[in-house]
Amino acid sequence: MTIDINLLRENKGGDPEKVRESERRRFRDPAIVDKVIALDKAWVAKQYDMEQKKKEVNAVQKRIKDKKTASKGQDPCTEEVAEKEKIESAVKGLEEDAKNLLVERDDVLGKIGNILDDSVPVSKDEDKDNEIVATWGVPPNFGVPYQTDGFRPHFELIEMIGGINFEAGRDVFGSRGYFLTGPAVLLNQALINYGIAFLMREGYMPIQPPFMMKQSVMAQAAELKDYDDVLYKVTEGPDHPDLDRYLIATSEQPITALYRSKVIDKHTLPIRFGGISSCFRKEAGSSGRDIRGIFRCHQFEKVEQFCIVDEEKSKAEHEKIRETSERFYQSLEFPYRVVNIVSGEINDAASKKYDLEAWFPGDDDGKGKYRELVSASNCLDFQSRRMDTRAGHGTDQQFPHMLNSTLVATQRCMCCLLENYQTKEGIRVPRVLVPFMAGMEFIPFVKPPPKDEEKEKAKKKK
């Protein structure tokens, strides 16, 4: 994915210093901007030299034609033919040089992040400096220390309702593997179906994309660091690289490519999709984090908002998708806050990102904690340029803006639901989910609390 090269060309109205400043705000070396500018100027110069040489070829060709005409085809024009061949050879060399410079320029350009919005807080520390822009609900145990009869964590509750088999999951898959069972399956499906229904009422079109993508297309949709830390690769072996596929980490990736190399009728904008998919992530960078339960796992389901809009409407659309997510969690009655993510933690494709963090009363040994459930990003034209997706008619075409936001990642949402709706006897089903649970309003505990091996070890040490 890439920014517009014209942002770095002063003769095209660009402002390179704005791009440098954006990179500084991301806590990166802005020298990369000057490297791209130098490569771009070298490429433009090489293109100019090549065009001049082509003009020379045409001039020599005209001389040959005139001589042939004057001599009625008798003059072999030996010198002119030799001169033409020499110049054509130079043209080929210049073409190759220009091609290599363009590849190098675009490779470096692709390492520059999207231009950060002016409203993004400048910091590397999201724990301290994320800006709280909205709150809703009252956390039931905010600041209250854990009590014997207090809130249990989700990884205990899901076992107590008979909703999971971790042991078999680890045996079949490995670390973080699981089988959802009984009521947890029903809750998971209820969240998916409620999420789809919710977005349809908001005017979104449901879409279920392929769960695997060709490497060439994934390279346009995903960031480079995702290949090592996030994406699973399915391969037919070294003899068939054209058959390699990548499992999607989010439906955003294939939906981004839906209009790849196509022109959208501008009158159809805005386009709003409700993406439904299973998602697959290595979580390579999260070793040791959230290893209990299904808050962070390798396979999960997600309903995603994905919107394509005119440039002048993208900021308003960003607020709209955030508000849509807020209304969804208000309907589930989860206490939450929305934060404006700091500059040092925003991914390259996004210009601005909101996170909706819901209250988990059983987290942090029962003291409670806000945890991320939603990320809502405005990617401007960063993704549409990479996908060569345009909107317009005839010669009047622009790159539309693309935005995305989680509506519900169901496994993670289920963790929050279990903690917020727990009672001493079981789990209450949120009112809005009851119709999607065959009328079930309550899920009783069927097992005792699992032993906390870490706490048992700590007690023995004391």
pLDDT tens-digit map of 42-73: 999 999 999 998 998 898 888 888 877 888 77
Share of the chain above pLDDT 70, in %: 93
Read off the pLDDT of each residue in 327-340 and give the average, rounded to a whole number: 98
Measured distance CA(410)–CA(303) in Å, rounded: 8
Tokens read off for 18 = 């704005």
**Residue 404 carries which DSSP code?**
E
Give the count of beta carbons closer than 10 Å to the beta carbon of residue 231. 20
Are 376 and 157 spatial neighbours (Cβ–Cβ below 8 Å)?
Answer: no
**Nearest CA to 134 among 332, 331, 330?**
330
Edge-to-edge strand list for the sheet holding 212-214? 212-214, 245-247, 233-234
How big, in percent rounded to 5, are the helix, strand and coil portions of the chain? 45, 20, 35
Helices (H), 136-182: 154-160, 166-172
Are 375 and 406 spatial neighbours (Cβ–Cβ below 8 Å)?
Answer: yes
Are 35 and 108 spatial neighbours (Cβ–Cβ below 8 Å)?
Answer: yes
Confidence band (pLDDT; 50, 70, 90) for 462? low
Give 239 or 142, the one with higher predicted confidence.
Answer: 239
Confidence band (pLDDT; 50, 70, 90) for 99? very high
Determine the residue type at 52: Q
Q: What pLDDT score was predicted for residue 150?
A: 77
Read off the pLDDT of each residue in 150-168 and give the average, rounded to a whole number: 93
DSSP letters for 174-223: -TT--EE-THHHHHHHHHHHHHHHHHHHTTPEEE---SEEEHHHHHHHS-
Q: What pLDDT score was predicted for residue 454?
A: 56
In this predicted structure, the answer to whether residue 459 has a pLDDT above a threshold of 70 is: no
Measured distance CA(410)–CA(422) in Å, rounded: 18
In this predicted structure, the answer to whether residue 285 has a pLDDT above a threshold of 70 is: no
Count of H-run helices and E-run strands, the chain: 14, 18
Q: Which domains does the chain have, with CATH numbers?
A: 5-109 (1.10.287.40), 126-461 (3.30.930.10)
Q: Is the peptide bond before 449 cis (omega within 30 degrees of 0)?
A: no
Tokens read off for 342 = 């700091």
Q: What pLDDT score was predicted for residue 237?
A: 80
Are 340 and 119 spatial neighbours (Cβ–Cβ below 8 Å)?
Answer: yes
Confidence band (pLDDT; 50, 70, 90) for 178? very high
Are 274 and 304 spatial neighbours (Cβ–Cβ below 8 Å)?
Answer: yes
Q: What pLDDT score was predicted for residue 1?
A: 57
Q: What pLDDT score was predicted for residue 453?
A: 59
3-class state of residue 26 by DSSP:
coil
Largest CA distance in the chain: 109
Tokens read off for 405 = 């936001």
CA torsion through residues 24, 28, 33, 34, sign:
positive
Q: What pLDDT score was predicted for residue 202?
A: 96
In this predicted structure, the answer to whether residue 263 has a pLDDT above a threshold of 90 is: yes
Q: What pLDDT score was predicted for residue 335?
A: 97
Buried b (16+ CB within 10 A) or exposed e, 319-336: ebbbebbbebbeebebbb
Confidence band (pLDDT; 50, 70, 90) for 2? confident
